Structure 1
Amino acid sequence: MPITGRCHCGAVTWRASEEPQRHSLCHCEDCRRWSGAPVVGWAAFYENVVTIEGETRGYQSSPAATREFCARCGTGLFYRSATLLPGILDIQSGTMDDPEAFPPSAQVMVRHRLGWAREMDKLPAFESYPGMD
């Protein structure tokens, strides 16, 4: 059963023939600034089991890593580092067609976690955006 995903506009799709090696939530500042989100989910796949269709663009976000995004809509998709994660393609788990299928098993870079992120479960929760029901 393949695992599939796509960018926001659908111009880039990906398919993995095996389950991810791990799924982690990253709190580092680099991920936060790149995504614009307080935490980013990453599903790590062996590169050789992933097929990507569509045009991505990338940039070297650090001396050891490249981040790729959809050339059309800008959705963040992939993280590659031959130095830090040889043979691994990290894929933003929010781009999975079924993100519930592989729950995260760890949080990483928690030394960079925003203080208020520790208390998110205590915030009021609404089924939809307040006033938009």
Structure 2
Amino acid sequence: MASGSCACHYISYTASNPPTCLVNCHCTTCRKQAGAPYQTWAFFATEDIQWHVNPTERRATNAATRSFCPKCGSTLSMIQHRDLSSIGIAAGTLDEGKTQIPLPSHHIFLDEKASWFELPKGDGAKKWDKWGEYDKL
């Protein structure tokens, strides 16, 4: 089982299975929301996630709905409208030591990558520039 929470612990969740993969997203929306060069998402089957308190949702773009904690503002999740069976959970919210966490398998939306950030060499992650280069992670 996997578990995690926002920074203030108001919102927490459990998952009945570990994440299927971790993805570093470099799109502008993720970068701005994370305040970092990319946002790392841990992907789970949507049905595996049980929220103990539901996060606040907002439709961030035409492509995805994101959620956050209304008390501390922590980013919590993202669901792509084209695949409702999968949910990205902000990897930084996972409880370390309680969750089997794989290494990131992909860097995506590299065509929107921050110019000042250099990708790590030899990390073994696949690199995709645009949305259409993949169907399901």
TM-score (norm 2): 0.79
In the alignment, what sits opposite 2:11? 12
Q: Post-superposition shift, 1:58? A: 1.4
In the alignment, what sits opposite 1:111? 111
1:54-81 deviations in whole A, cap 9, x for unaligned?
2411111112311100111110001012
Structure ID, larger Rg: 1
Query: Aligned to 1:89, which of 82, 87, 90?
Result: 87
1:9-58 deviations in whole A, cap 9, x for unaligned?
00011111112121111111011112222111001100111111124111
Give the Cα–Cα distance (whole angstroms) in 2 for the partners of residues 22 and 115 of structure 1.
26
Structure 1 residues 80 and 119, CA gap change in structure 2 (3 angstroms): closer
1:62-114 deviations in whole A, cap 9, x for unaligned?
1231110011111000101232x221111010111117832211111111111
| Structure whose residues are more often helix by fraction | 1
User: Unaligned 5+ residue runs, structure 2?
Assistant: 122-137
Q: Post-superposition shift, 1:115? A: 2.1
Give the Cα–Cα distance (whole angstroms) in 1 for the partners of residues 66 and 119 of structure 2.
29
What residue identity is the alignment partner of 1:38?
A: P
In the alignment, what sits opposite 1:76? 75
Moved over 6 A (4+): none
Structure 1 residue 22 corresponds to structure 2 residue 21: yes
Give the Cα–Cα distance (whole angstroms) in 2 for the partners of residues 119 and 107 of structure 1.
9
Asked whether the equivalents of residues 2 and 100 of structure 2 are also in contact (C-alpha less than 8 Å), the reply is: no
Where 1:54 maps in the other structure, the secondary structure is: coil
Quick one: percent identity of the two aligned structures? 28
Give the Cα–Cα distance (whole angstroms) in 2 for the partners of residues 71 and 25 of structure 1.
24
In the alignment, what sits opposite 1:57? 56
Asked whether the equivalents of residues 55 and 71 of structure 1 are also in contact (C-alpha less than 8 Å), the reply is: no
Give the Cα–Cα distance (whole angstroms) in 2 for the partners of residues 119 and 55 of structure 1.
34
Aligned residues between the structures:
119
Give the Cα–Cα distance (whole angstroms) in 1 for the partners of residues 106 and 119 of structure 2.
17
